[in-house]
């Protein structure tokens, strides 16, 4: 069986940046499982896995356009410290979820000043070329319920 539309695919992965630093990995965890063709994973990786078999090893570099997009400087904003009510200490690198008209957005604290906090609404991996090393562990047909939901169970 090959990776194609409406298959549920499981794989182990290691994700590195241009410098070779590991950003994320499934090592020591269950493999990542997704419904192929449903946009559950970034487009560049989904394309690279198309047609592969269980047991295949795949190395792929994905440009930002096919991953988390390019950085948008307009998403770096100063917000009043009072917006973080109930948070005792705010430090650079901390991440918060914010409800926006476009859904939940992750904000990363860049800088803390007296009364303001500079936050970056870009996805932490925006603007990065992502280097994936993937081992496909399992491929199966999706169930009717999974197809209806648009994700793997
Ligand atoms: Zn579901």
pLDDT digits (tens, 9 = 90+) for 7-56: 999 999 999 999 999 999 999 999 999 999 999 999 999 999 999 999 99
pLDDT (0 to 100) of residue 98 = 83
Question: Are residues 60 and 11 part of one domain?
Answer: yes
**Rounded to the nearest whole angstrom, what is the distance from the C-alpha of residue 150 to the centroid of ligand 1?**
7
Q: Is residue 2 part of a domain?
A: no
Question: Are residues 55 and 92 part of one domain?
Answer: no
**Rounded to the nearest whole angstrom, what is the distance from the C-alpha of residue 152 to the centroid of ligand 1?**
7
Question: Are residues 99 and 77 part of one domain?
Answer: yes
**Rounded to the nearest whole angstrom, what is the distance from the C-alpha of residue 148 to the centroid of ligand 1?**
8
* pLDDT tops 90 at residue 110: yes
Q: Which domain holds residue 46?
A: 7-65+126-149
Question: Are residues 59 and 19 part of one domain?
Answer: yes
Question: Are residues 48 and 15 part of one domain?
Answer: yes
The domain tally of the chain equals: 2
* pLDDT tops 80 at residue 146: yes
CATH number (domain holding residue 48)? 3.10.50.40
Q: How far is CA 148 from CA 3, 39, 54, in A?
A: 19, 14, 24
Q: Is residue 41 part of a domain?
A: yes
For 119, the 3-state DSSP assignment is strand
**116, 110 Cβ separation under 8 angstroms:** no
Closest by CA to 152, choosing from 143, 101, 111, is 143
pTM of the model: 0.82
**Rounded to the nearest whole angstrom, what is the distance from the C-alpha of residue 151 to the centroid of ligand 1?**
6
pLDDT (0 to 100) of residue 129 = 98
């Amino acid at each position: 069986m090959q990776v194609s539309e409406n298959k549920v695919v499981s794989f182990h992965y290691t994700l590195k940046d241009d410098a070779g630093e590991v950003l994320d990995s499934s090592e020591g965890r269950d493999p990542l499982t997704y419904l192929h063709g449903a946009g559950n994973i970034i487009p560049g990786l989904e394309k690279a896995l198309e047609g592969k078999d269980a047991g295949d090893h795949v190395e792929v570099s994905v440009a930002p356009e096919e991953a988390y997009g390019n950085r948008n400087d307009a998403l770096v904003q100063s917000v009043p410290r009072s917006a973080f009510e109930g948070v005792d200490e705010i430090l650079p690198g901390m991440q918060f979820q914010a409800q926006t008209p476009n859904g939940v957005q992750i904000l990363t604290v860049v800088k803390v000043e007296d009364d303001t906090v500079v936050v970056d609404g870009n996805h932490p991996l925006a603007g990065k070329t992502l280097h994936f090393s993937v081992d496909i562990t399992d491929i199966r047909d999706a169930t009717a319920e999974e197809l209806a939901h648009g994700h793997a169970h």
